[in-house]
Amino acid sequence: MTTLFTSLRVSAFLAWKSIQRGSKGTLALTIMIIALIFVNLVFLPSIISGVVETFNTQSIDFDFGNLVIEPREGSQYISGVTSLQKTVERIPGITGTSPRIAAGATFFYKGHNAASTLYGITPDDERSVTKIADYMTAGEFLSNGDTDAIILGTTLAGTEGQEAGGLPSLQGVAVGDSVEVTYPNGETRTYRVKGIYQTQSISVDTAAFVTSREMSGVLGLRDQASMILVKTAVDGREEEYKTELLSYGIQEQIRTFREKAGGFVDQAIQSFNIINTISALVSLIIAIVVVFIVIFINTVNRRRQIGILKAIGIDQQIIINSYVLQVLFITAVGALAGMALNAGVTTYLTAYPLVFPGGPVYPVVEVSAILQSVASLFAVSVVAGYIPAWQIAREDILTAIRG
């Protein structure tokens, strides 16, 4: 009696001989197509993951930190900022807090004007939360004692003679220049530009920063802030920290950086995922068609051989399995080649990242995406290989032998 092991051994023998002595060109082409399909299955999810990663990093590093404490319902400002800061900083896992005063302002420079957001910060605190200070392209970051200095985002500073495509731009401010700023209460101040930064986050690069001391003085605020940015030791656990902060009796509103983004990225990711699903489906259909055609042609060309095998006593299932094993081999080698190809593409895009509005996007290849792609490829390939093999192998022996 033929055991399962023996059957598989014979199937593997026939499969290997067919691969070894069949058309090398067809084999290479099929493997290449499977490899490209694999790359297509993995590439788009890696870009989507990259976009998410970029958004998260940019939001945390430049826009919001991990959490943002905002005024209570109905209040414009948080009061007792110093005390609140001390409370928050005592919580384990909180590594920094930065109170910010935010106000809409109009900036004037050599006949150009631009409306944007002006922030008042405590520079030392800001350094403990965001990385803006590390992204100065000219001049220096603010110091705690500065009262007549301002730093501008590169978009707001602008380039001489160039519009910024609808974004606020003063068209060519340089370090050392003077910029006039009109506050929402009508007060106007002139500041020396101490530095220009570039974070590649649009909302940050179109803004400007002065010290809280200066801005509080202009707006008449005392120990007040529009928001307090909070930096946590570990990213990705914002919800836990939010609960922790609330448990300390903080009455102000607390939002994670994702909540602050207002679902924009979630919507973008949803759209990306729809595109990705369509792309993956098309790829898998191509894989089914390619494998089906290859195995169909293979079995039709070997119809007589299949008839002979059955005539000499080889079970139909052994013959079918030999084709399934060939498909598994082609898919495995194709997936490996695809992984190598994808590694090449990923390496290239890591060196030369895609530039999105939120910043540079590096492909993030997740193991789960690879496993899912490999599993999908194997599943569709086996089905696409099995059907034509089964169709031919169940044919009448003499009909098959006569071709």
Partner 1 sequence: MIVAENLTRIYTMGRVEVHALRGVSLEVAKGEFVGIMGASGSGKSTLLHILGLLDRPTSGRVTIDGTDVLGLTDHRRTLFRLNRLGYVFQDYALIGELTALENVYLTSLVRGAPKEEYLKKSAGILERVGLADRMDHRQSELSGGEQQRVAIARALVNNPSILLADEPCANLDSQTSRSILDLFARLNEDLGQTILMVSHEEWHKEYFCRVATLRDGLIGDMVECRRRKPHPGGEA
- Of the listed pieces 18-26, 256-264, 281-289, 354-362, which binds partner 1 according to CB under 8 A? 18-26
| Binding of partner 1 by 23 (CB under 8 A) | no
In 3D, which of 353, 233, 329 has the Cα closest to residue 13?
329
In 3D, which of 143, 292, 128, 303 has the Cα closest to residue 211?
143
In 3D, which of 5, 107, 1, 11 has the Cα closest to residue 321?
11
Closest approach, Cβ 309 to partner 1, in A, equals 7
Contact residue for partner 1 among 6, 26, 113, 144 (CB under 8 A): 6
Closest approach, Cβ 378 to partner 1, in A, equals 25
Contact residue for partner 1 among 94, 193, 318, 349 (CB under 8 A): 318
202 versus 401: smaller Cβ distance to partner 1: 401
What ranges make up the beta strands (E) of 324-383? 354-356, 359-361
- Of the listed pieces 5-13, 194-202, 229-237, 380-388, which binds partner 1 according to CB under 8 A? 5-13
- Please report, for residues 128, 301, 310, 321, 403, the alpha-carbon distance to residue 307 in angstroms, rounded to integers and kept in the order given: 76, 12, 5, 15, 9
12 versus 52: smaller Cβ distance to partner 1: 12
| Binding of partner 1 by 395 (CB under 8 A) | no
Contact residue for partner 1 among 13, 248, 264, 348 (CB under 8 A): 13
- To the nearest 10 degrees (0 to 180), the angle between helices 264-301 and 367-393 is 30
Closest approach, Cβ 302 to partner 1, in A, equals 8
CA dihedral 209→211→216→218, nearest 10 degrees, is: -70
Binding mask 278-317 for partner 1 (x = CB under 8 A): --------------------------xx--xxxxxxxxx-
| Binding of partner 1 by 116 (CB under 8 A) | no
Neighbours of 155 (CB within 10 A): 25
Structure tokens belonging to residue 163? 């519009």
- Of the listed pieces 3-11, 50-58, 99-107, 185-193, which binds partner 1 according to CB under 8 A? 3-11
| Binding of partner 1 by 337 (CB under 8 A) | no
Number of residues that bind partner 1 (CB under 8 A): 27
| Binding of partner 1 by 24 (CB under 8 A) | no
- Of the listed pieces 1-9, 165-173, 252-260, 271-279, which binds partner 1 according to CB under 8 A? 1-9
| Binding of partner 1 by 398 (CB under 8 A) | yes
13 versus 348: smaller Cβ distance to partner 1: 13
Structure tokens belonging to residue 79? 């009061």
| Binding of partner 1 by 8 (CB under 8 A) | no
Which DSSP string do the residues of 206-248 spell out, in sequence order? Answer: T-EEEEHHHHHHHHT-SSEESEEEEEESSTT-HHHHHHHHHHT
| Binding of partner 1 by 18 (CB under 8 A) | yes
* Nearest-5° Cα angle at 16, 13 to 18: 110
Structure tokens belonging to residue 143? 């110091």
* Residues whose CB falls within 8 Å of the CB of residue 301, separated by 6 or more in sequence, listed in order: none
Closest approach, Cβ 310 to partner 1, in A, equals 7
- Of the listed pieces 13-21, 31-39, 228-236, 241-249, which binds partner 1 according to CB under 8 A? 13-21
What ranges make up the beta strands (E) of 140-186? 149-153, 178-182
Structure tokens belonging to residue 109? 């420079």
Q: Whole-angstrom Cα distance, residue 127 to residue 141?
A: 10
Q: Point out which residues bind partner 1 (CB under 8 A).
A: 1-3, 6-7, 9-10, 13, 17-18, 21-22, 304-305, 308-316, 318, 397-398, 401
